[in-house]
Structure 1
């Protein structure tokens, strides 16, 4: 599967209201469901991690989940990490 640079038009949430993805608590689990079958979930997650986006559900991960990844690899190029993981190279890097 190739990396999609212009991923937003293909996102499962493209027609969702922003309020559905920028929620707190248990509502985040509902927001994550929108991401579950998304074709560009990995690209979305890389965008959030590389730009240290603090709010909302991105790529199927909550703010807390993304912060945990950023603490583990603060200087990583998440696009590269996730591209390599997608190819099966460096799955352990996560």
Structure 2
């Protein structure tokens, strides 16, 4: 099920925002916060659909997100990720 008010359930909601807007090796630490987040997919879709340029969102750095956007610049990432989640849930 897709969560529209995802930020209320985000694993990072009580962290300092600056912890997710870091550079270099510090990004790996920021990505760890996302690893067990229940709304990681919604967060990533938000960043991709709105082409957010900075920070770690949904467990991906800005460089990783830019690579996805180059491959599919006009995609509705919410639709793509929601469909992928639905398929994965059906398989389990």
TM over 0.5: yes
| Shift in Å, 1:87 | 1.0
Distance 2:79 2:36 in 1: 22
Runs of 4+ in 1 over 6 A off after TM superposition: none
Equivalent position of 1:79 in the other structure: 78
Alignment of 1:12-23 (within 5 A): 12-23=11-22
Alignment of 1:58-73 (within 5 A): 58-73=57-72
Residue 4 of structure 2 aligns to a residue whose secondary structure is coil
Alignment of 1:35-74 (within 5 A): 35-74=34-73
What number of residue pairs does the alignment pair up?
88
Q: In the TM superposition, what whole-angstrom CA distance separates every residue of 1:16-67 from its partner, at most 9, and x where no partner exists?
A: 1011000000000000000000000000000000000000000000000000
Structure number with the higher helix fraction is 2
Q: In the TM superposition, what whole-angstrom CA distance separates every residue of 1:52-92 from its partner, at most 9, and x where no partner exists?
A: 00000000000000000000000000000000000118xxx
Structure 1: stretches of 5+ with no match in the other structure? 90-94
Taking only aligned residues, the RMSD between alpha carbons, in angstroms, comes to: 0.8
Give the TM-score of the pair, scaled to structure 1.
Answer: 0.92
